[in-house]
Amino acid sequence: MLSDVSNALDIFFPRFCPSCGKKLQDEQMICSDCLSSIEQISSKAEVISKNGWFFNEMFYRAPYKSRVGSVVRTYKYTPHPLLGDFLAYLFLEVFNRFSPPPNSYLTYVPITFKSLKEKGFDHMKRISRLLSKKSGIPSLKLLEVIKQRDHQVGLSTTKRRSNVVNKYGVLKEELYKTSGTIVLIDDVFTTGASVNECSKMLRRCGASKVCVYTLAKVQTKKN
């Protein structure tokens, strides 16, 4: 009976791959072709706290101009919240390759109220919860947006950095429940302005170590 209903729904309300637009089969969240084209994990990307960086290490899954980046863009800018489960799996692959420090606590870069209204959900909060279940690392909301700012998209590196200054606040009572070792996740590392500002605030409030993990990283000439 349930299979008949599922078949009927597929006929009248077909689902399509959010990455390429092909019709999906059964319970697929992404088509087989796109799944097979997902890139292998890139080499370790590490940034030690110096020259203005407040996080200790940074790891990413793939360059932004990749199939992974395409799926991230779809999840971030279109109403496909169920893709969060697939992206949490990709994050888990990075965790398995580059293990988070012992006794870590997981948190995420929060979005503005404007973005929440536009999307209908906090895309990184959803991934954080799913990733916590898959990895066993406790997830806590440690950060909040305290100053609503414009989107970062399209801004220069300098403006991106100034746009996030004092944008985030730390939920200290939640931070004090942790070991002080924080795994901070975000979807894309463009200039690093957002994760760096979040890391700065976490360190100022007592975090001893912050490791950043993202799904994609925008490549620059220095990369």
d(CA 157, CA 169): 22
Spell out the residues 6+ positions from residue 55 whose beta carbon is closer than 8 angstroms to its own: 47, 49, 184, 195, 196, 199, 210, 211, 212
d(CA 49, CA 33): 39
Q: For domain 38-217, which architecture applies?
A: 3-Layer(aba) Sandwich (3.40)
The series of mean pLDDT values per 10 residues for the chain, 223 residues long, is 42 63 76 80 55 88 89 84 88 93 97 85 94 97 86 66 86 97 96 94 97 90 58
Q: Tokens representing 103?
A: 């006794």
pLDDT on residue 139: 97
User: In sequence order, which ranges of 14-166 are alpha helices (DSSP H)?
Assistant: 32-36, 67-77, 83-97, 113-119, 123-135, 157-164
pLDDT on residue 13: 41
**pTM (predicted TM-score):** 0.85
pLDDT on residue 43: 53
Separation in Å, CA 171 to CA 66, 89, 104, 136, 141: 35, 27, 17, 22, 8
Yes or no: say if 203 and 50 are a contact pair by the CB < 8 Å rule.
no
Sequence spans of domains, the chain: 1-37, 38-217
C-beta atoms surrounding 129 within 10 Å: 17
3-state secondary structure of 36: helix
